[in-house]
Structure 1
Amino acid sequence: MHRFLFALDPEAAHGLVLGFLAFWSERGPLLEVPARLLRVEDPRFRVEAFGVSFPNPLGLAAGMDKDARALGAWWALGFGFAEVGTLTPRPQEGNPRPRLFRLPEDRALINRMGFNNRGAREAATRLGRFRKRGLPLPVGINLGKNRDTPLEQAAEDYLKALRLLEPFGDYFVLNVSSPNTPGLRALQEGPFLDELLARLRPATKKPLLLKVAPDLSPKALDEVLALAKKHRLQGLVAVNTTLAREGLKSSLAGEAGGLSGRPLNRRALEVLRHLAEGAEGLALVSVGGVETPLDLWERLKAGASLVQVYTGFVYGGPLFPRRLLKGLLSLMAAEGVSRLEDLTR
């Protein structure tokens, strides 16, 4: 099956898999048997971050299930939480195709999707149905602005999406760091970010996080930290995809868009360690290049409360979460860690 999917256009393969998982997710009894086989349930994994309890620290990153179509499947496959989106207040098509590229020689992807999604209102309806089913999967919601909204009016877009989705998320992430929406990364800069957070923070009592780019300098990261503390955010998600292309082998390395996967591993860990030095009460969610149990373990030891995967799951397949969590148990035992809560506190 993996070979067949990798013979298809990447976006077509993604649509096929997501369609199957969405169908599976809507049929509750069909989730129970695979969940018993695939989920690694262990009380040693339980962690709490920004007031939310997570059955394990491994989550699905935003971008895989933009419209919250397959939440039941993510639970059955073993994830401790899932982040949906990026969702914008109005539906939008995103950038022209082709816009998603595999780089198998580098275990990487390049995407320039451009926040394609069916809009916050449709996602709210779907999330409401999921909540009624009572599956124990914490859900984060990643928010963005529509492409045609000027930066000066961006806060209104984030507010509109937040108001529609606020009842359904366990936490919310402001995506100001995607490289695929023109000008969006300017929202990470001091004046824009200060105004955005001043508008958004009072709009919800639920945990509010900010997703940052891997391409920020140490000084810029420190400025983000300072503003996150000033506006009483609960955490940071680090990192988004990168514009860097150093050391790639693939002939597709020159494609425009954000790079994810193995080449991002080192930079994601560097950013995490830098942020952890000054986090002081902010929870850190690490994402970028996580492929092995050791990668997961390193992120947790470096200060992450939670860790997300995307590209590693694309290449690793449906058993990927189970392999990572089984391996994590072995690493915890080898280092004498009886429960993750002691490590992430």
Structure 2
Amino acid sequence: MYALLRPLLFTLDAEKSHHLAFSLAHKAFRLGLLPKLNHVTKPHTVIGLTFPNRVGLAAGLDKNGEHIDVLAQLGFGFIEIGTVTPRPQSGNPQPRLFRLPQANAIINRMGFNNLGVDNLIENVKRSQFVKNGGIIGINIGKNADTPIEHAVKDYLIGLSKVYAHASYIAVNISSPNTKNLRDLQSEDALDNLLSQLKESQLQLADKYQKYVPMTLKIAPDIDSEQLTIIAELLKRHKIDGVIATNTTLDKASVTHLPHGDETGGLSGTPVRDKSTQIIKALSDELSSEVPIIGVGGISSGADAQAKINAGADLIQVYSGLIYQGPSLVGQCVQALTPLEQSHGI
């Protein structure tokens, strides 16, 4: 069905197409016409959670948690929603989302557009997927008008609000579309952020009598020295996992294409190898002390295998889903099954 719909969707502005696709999916879901795909493999335990399969949805597709139950029909092992900020914000001016079909890529400068953390929590509480024990990650960020020197406060607000409603929490300091956000990846800033977040996480675990894992999402545009520092801080502060990677600012491979020089983060096939290289380097630095969720440019089962072979424990898809459709989830699950059997996972 997606193969038939895609040409129509691709004639529209990318953001309008996004809303139309979800509108159609919700109508089909309500009418019982959206089949539920089950991709259950040998259960896989990572960051203290047991996943029915290792293929998840990356943050960004469902910023407000409005589509959880529809997305659950696609057979994901877990779903990550957000990025959500303490207060609602409209994000950057439109147009802000661009397809690059020749490269199987997307450029976005959305700017954390969302309806705020309180709205997202209400959506999570209504979700049947969540009520049935589905694994839901909530990705948190800072408001655009919060000065970078006060960013920690926004993350602490987000953490405390979503803690009771998330299976795990992702801390997004790597979007290129919020001014100065990536400065939080520097050694002193990251040390301070992780220290305060870890302290709050432990206090919340005591308050709610349950431990909710916390992960850090990093950018692909970091050098080896910065990566070593990040890996050391992840271990020092006992962060539960790392998501590698977000979008890239390196557009050298697409500048010749229509929209290839747009401002924003580039995702899809052009970031695939860079992301995989970061995963391999992280895996070497972390020595299995901190699990890795691999994301970036996965558009086939082979791409999923490459991320796992590089050292990822789980994977996430987003841009590949836009180009390949829902069948990508099953392709990735099937491709990873032989790895699980051969490695005894």
Counterpart-to-counterpart distance in 2, 1:161 and 1:81: 20
Counterpart-to-counterpart distance in 2, 1:274 and 1:227: 15
- Counterpart of 1:319, as a letter, is S
Counterpart-to-counterpart distance in 2, 1:150 and 1:257: 20
Q: Which moved more, 1:217-226 or 1:13-22?
A: 13-22
**How far did residue 74 of structure 1 move?**
2.0
**Aligned to 1:179, what secondary structure does the other structure show?**
coil
2:276 to 269, 283, 289: 269
Are positions 1:86 and 2:83 aligned together?
yes
Are positions 1:4 and 2:4 aligned together?
no
Are positions 1:176 and 2:178 aligned together?
no
Q: Which moved more, 1:306-315 or 1:295-304?
A: 295-304
Moved runs in structure 1, 4+ residues, more than 6 A? Answer: none
> Normalized against structure 1, the TM-score is what?
0.91
Counterpart-to-counterpart distance in 1, 2:141 and 2:24: 26
**Alignment correspondent of 1:30:** 32
Are positions 1:317 and 2:325 aligned together?
yes
The verdict on how the C-alpha distance between 1:135 and 1:24 changes in structure 2, with shifts beyond 3 A counting, is farther
**Alignment correspondent of 2:303:** 295
The verdict on how the C-alpha distance between 1:133 and 1:30 changes in structure 2, with shifts beyond 3 A counting, is farther
**How far did residue 24 of structure 1 move?**
5.7
1:279 to 286, 295, 299: 286
1:8-23 to 2 correspondence within 5 Å?
8-22=12-26
Contact kept in structure 1, 2:291 and 2:312, CA below 8 Å: yes
Contact kept in structure 1, 2:305 and 2:335, CA below 8 Å: no
**Alignment correspondent of 2:123:** 126
Q: Which moved more, 1:297-306 or 1:105-114?
A: 297-306
- Counterpart of 2:311, as a letter, is G
| Cα offsets for 1:26-73 (capped at 9, x unmatched) | x5x938x711xx222233xx2111100100000000000001111112
**Aligned to 2:32, what secondary structure does the other structure show?**
helix
2:315 to 307, 322, 329: 307
Contact kept in structure 1, 2:54 and 2:333, CA below 8 Å: no
- Counterpart of 1:307, as a letter, is I
**Aligned to 2:139, what secondary structure does the other structure show?**
strand
Provide the aligned length of Structure 1 versus Structure 2: 330
Contact kept in structure 2, 1:262 and 1:290, CA below 8 Å: yes
Q: Which moved more, 1:246-255 or 1:185-194?
A: 246-255
| Cα offsets for 1:261-308 (capped at 9, x unmatched) | 000111011000000001131010000001111111111122111100
**Alignment correspondent of 2:39:** 40
**Aligned to 2:165, what secondary structure does the other structure show?**
coil
**Alignment correspondent of 1:202:** 199
| Cα offsets for 1:103-150 (capped at 9, x unmatched) | 001100000000000000010111112268633421111100000001
**Alignment correspondent of 1:258:** 265
| Cα offsets for 1:83-106 (capped at 9, x unmatched) | 100000000000000000000011
Counterpart-to-counterpart distance in 2, 1:41 and 1:123: 27
**How far did residue 21 of structure 1 move?**
3.8
**Aligned to 1:83, what secondary structure does the other structure show?**
strand
**Aligned to 1:167, what secondary structure does the other structure show?**
helix
- Counterpart of 2:40, as a letter, is E
2:341 to 321, 330, 338: 338
Counterpart-to-counterpart distance in 2, 1:132 and 1:326: 23
**Alignment correspondent of 2:208:** none
The verdict on how the C-alpha distance between 1:133 and 1:206 changes in structure 2, with shifts beyond 3 A counting, is closer
The verdict on how the C-alpha distance between 1:24 and 1:278 changes in structure 2, with shifts beyond 3 A counting, is farther
Q: Which moved more, 1:319-328 or 1:71-80?
A: 319-328
CA RMSD of aligned residues (A): 1.8
**How far did residue 202 of structure 1 move?**
1.7
> Normalized against structure 2, the TM-score is what?
0.91
% of aligned pairs identical?
Answer: 38
- Counterpart of 2:107, as a letter, is I
Counterpart-to-counterpart distance in 2, 1:131 and 1:152: 39
- Counterpart of 2:18, as a letter, is H
**Alignment correspondent of 1:165:** 162
**Alignment correspondent of 2:138:** 141
**Aligned to 1:286, what secondary structure does the other structure show?**
strand
**How far did residue 328 of structure 1 move?**
3.5
- Counterpart of 2:262, as a letter, is E
Contact kept in structure 1, 2:72 and 2:129, CA below 8 Å: no
Unaligned runs of 5+ in 1: none
Counterpart-to-counterpart distance in 2, 1:116 and 1:263: 24
